[in-house]
Chains A and B, each alone.
Chain A
Amino acid sequence: MNTGDTSFVLVSAALVMLMTPGLALFYGGMVRGKNVLGTIMQSFIIIALISLEWILWGYSMAFGPDKFGIIGGLEWFGLMGVGLAPHPVYAPTVPHQVFMIYQCMFAVITPALISGAFAERMRFGPFLLFSLLWATFVYNPLAHWIWGDGGWLGRLGALDFAGGVAVHVSSGVAALAAAVILGKRKGYGTEEMRPHNLPMTLLGAGILWFGWFGFNAGSALSAGRLAGSAFVATHVAGCTAALAWIAMEWKLHGKATTLGAASGAVAGLATVTPAAGFVGPLSAALIGLMAGVGCYLGILAKNRFRYDDSLDVVGIHGVGGVIGLVAAGFFASTLVNPGGADGLLFGNPSQLAIQCVAVLTTIVYTFVITYILLKVVDKLFGLRVSEKDEIVGLDLSQHEETGYEF
């Protein structure tokens, strides 16, 4: 065991934890004022709900003893056998429970990301049930495939440093399914649905950016060279994407916006996530450039296809996750990370094919299971608030509170 590594992973866990309240502010500022608390709550309460799920069965399903490469067994239910001695495969220099709580924060933020797609119109109770089911039946298996000891995508050699498969592509695809099933917000396209508090959104984006260093650098699971290079790659991609995004806006709309700068940074950070520990700084800049341009175009797509992915989870996390996983197949280099693999540009075209397998299976599995889960919860309890409650807003109708008193 190594105290330096242990303290680094503990601090990283705390950093990733802070991302979810950051996301709450990022999303909260983008909705209308009558839904600010309901939207913040959909991230905030997920911290509590999914953390409990994680220690009870989530960690065991994701990282427990492998069953056929597709799921972990329930042998570690309630953290039975997950003690303070390091796990030799996952993180040989930190206590097993430290690795577990670090991974917990990833499991937490992922369902919270999806909530942007159905913002301003989902009932609170069914939202909790859906999030719990989704974490159990989508997040846990995907995390096992890619990161679990014996998971089939990991064994295939797929590269995913910090969460392209289980976090970003999965939340983005789930968001698409949710936007399709819940339908558009009342008045979408005819009423004004402007962000009500962009300073809140910018603050949230700043907290996300800060926390992302724990997300990506922390995924090195040791305080050393790899954490350093992942930290640099993460920052470079976020910066490049923010600039690329506002450049696109400037060109297409005549003005660079603060929401664009925040969205671009988040898109870049999300996109570099799967590649962060495998690429050098200049590759990270190219990934950021692709993120800024690609995710911006991804957001414009919703207007064309006419689904109401209210806060653009598909355009940012879905598109970004796909770009990032594929980019890892291009730019990965064993010079950066000897434990990784070379990508196409470094003479290994087969890596690109493996990355595409990871992307496609994640998309198909996530869409199908998410669709089924949403349909089941809808049949049992009804996903959507009544028209009257939607007009009143989530704050009053779901929580009997208001965000602002003037």
Chain B
Amino acid sequence: MKKIEAIIKPFKLTEVKEALNRLGVQGMTVSEVKGFGRQRGHKEVYRGAEYQIDFVPKTRIEIVLEVSLVADAVKVIRETARTGEIGDGKIFISAIEDAIRIRTGESGRDAL
């Protein structure tokens, strides 16, 4: 099992979610996050005072899936979340030891 964490532009969330659903991904966790990479932030002005805003709002998608699906999932996320502009985000992949469904106690791939 692997976990994919994708940091994407918030307005791309629906597109990415639907593409992953089509691929057979059955669940995901989404959070609103802030951060910066090479994109850095932007300028805001209030009553003539300028503020440099470093942390840009992003959306983080977390999905855990079988190893066989990872390559396709990454491809789908890249295809749907990409605008070609700086700030499109990143994908992180890590190993997951186990998963347990709370209701039934099932574990491993049955719990996904």
Contacts and interface: CB of A to CB of B under 8 A. Distances in A.
B48 A259 contact: no
A254 B46 CA distance: 12
A257 B46 contact: yes
B44 to A, nearest CB: 7
A303 interface: yes
Contact of B46 (A195, A252, A296, A300): A195
B45 A255 contact: yes
A2 to B, nearest CB: 44
B47 A263 contact: yes
A195 B49 CA distance: 11
A405 interface: no
Nearest to A257: B45
B51 interface: yes
Contact of A312 (B44, B47, B51, B53): B47
Interface string B27-42: 0000000000000000
Interface residues of A, number: 16
Interface residues of B, number: 9
A194 B48 contact: no
A303 B44 CA distance: 17
B47 A252 contact: no
Contacts of A400: none
A195 B44 CA distance: 11
B47 A259 contact: yes
Nearest to B53: A192
A192 B46 contact: no
Chain A's interface: helix, strand, loop or mixed, by majority? helix
A81 B47 CA distance: 48
A343 interface: no
A192 B51 contact: yes
B45 A300 contact: no
A299 B46 contact: no
A72 interface: no
Contacts of B48: 249, 252-253, 296, 299-300, 303
A111 interface: no
A192 B46 CA distance: 11
A38 interface: no
A259 B46 contact: yes
Interface of A: 192, 194-195, 249, 252-253, 255, 257, 259-260, 263, 296, 299-300, 303, 312
